[in-house]
Chains A and B, each alone.
Chain A
Amino acid sequence: MSEVASSYSLAELMVVAASRVFDNEGEVLATGIGLLPRLAASLAMSTTNPDLMMTDSQSFLLSKPNPVSGMKSHAGQANETWLGFRAVFDNVWSGKRHAMVGPSQIDRFGQANISALGGTYQQPKVQLLGVRGFPGNSISHGNSFFVPKHSTRVFVEGECDVVGSIGYNPDRLPKGYSLDDIDVRTVITDLCVMDFNGPNHQMRIVSLHPGVTEQEVRDNTGFELAVVDNLGVTPAPTVEQLAIIAELDPMNARAKQLKDNPPGERRG
């Protein structure tokens, strides 16, 4: 066991927390959308789960994850399998995947939205990306969420404005399905780690980041949360983990992902 780091950023704490979702996944495609989730998957593949599969974000599966910053070309990377955009769907539908995505909204059912905000479906106030692959991902394999700024704007009171992924909403459950067929996993935010293992798949606080209170999490969430027994603090990165993160992100792009790059230890 490497010693715990005495100093680390919030981004690094979140990366380490996020990497844990891939620890016991075995041989699945780990897809982290966005720099910090990708760094989390890369860290897991480099440490706890070398059986993970990751792509070059383009067309190939790699035997060793590419760095998330400082790449000038794809030449010389550790290609092992062609996995173009369409082949990813074959993998998605086979279930051998765990995706970590960053939605604009999440509701109490674990339904998520990256499509549009406000207005009507015909004329949204803010058009975002579109549902992309959320519907297919959410019905096919495990999905976790990464939220850089925990607020009631993201964790919304009602349902998401556009429900892009299936969650634990009994009213939307397809015929022949049970809620246990749905597999929404972990939520990593800048305040805490949560899952959906509360009563009736209620979203549940699993650990609080150092210096964060349970009330702070509740104040920034638009719905009621369950909480684990013996609520603890999110484990700090180890010296070894920080060294591997630095190797995977040589340009320190992680420092630019959260506003003002706050420290991970916010006590005192």
Chain B
Amino acid sequence: MKKTIPVLLLTAGGFIWLWQYEPTPHTETAVVAQAEAPAPAAGSATRTLTGTEVAAGRHGIVQVQVVLTDGSITEVQVLRAPATKPTEEALPTLREEALSAQSADIDTVSGATMTSEAYAESLQAALDAKGA
């Protein structure tokens, strides 16, 4: 058991680093390996160890599972991964959004603070006049 703990720490740490949007320092909780199954019978040497959840900075939680065969890691599974920050390029463009909003029947308009001077030509003025 003891020997597996540093391995798990390194594994989780490696994954966390991959998910960091920017490499900022982060605190990690200790990973404690827990045997999922009862101790294997003599002759069988495969064990599955699940690490505890580790906080990956401000990006979420990482949890990994490691399968050991004869003391060596044969499989690593990511059970929980943090949601990655969407890159700006992956977001829809304003043109697509605007087209769908133009025909909307609306009650009021939210926008950056509008001065009284700008009000006259605004959509809100038209709505206020319609309902007065």
Q: Do A and B form a real pair? A: no
Residues of A within 8 A of B (CB): none
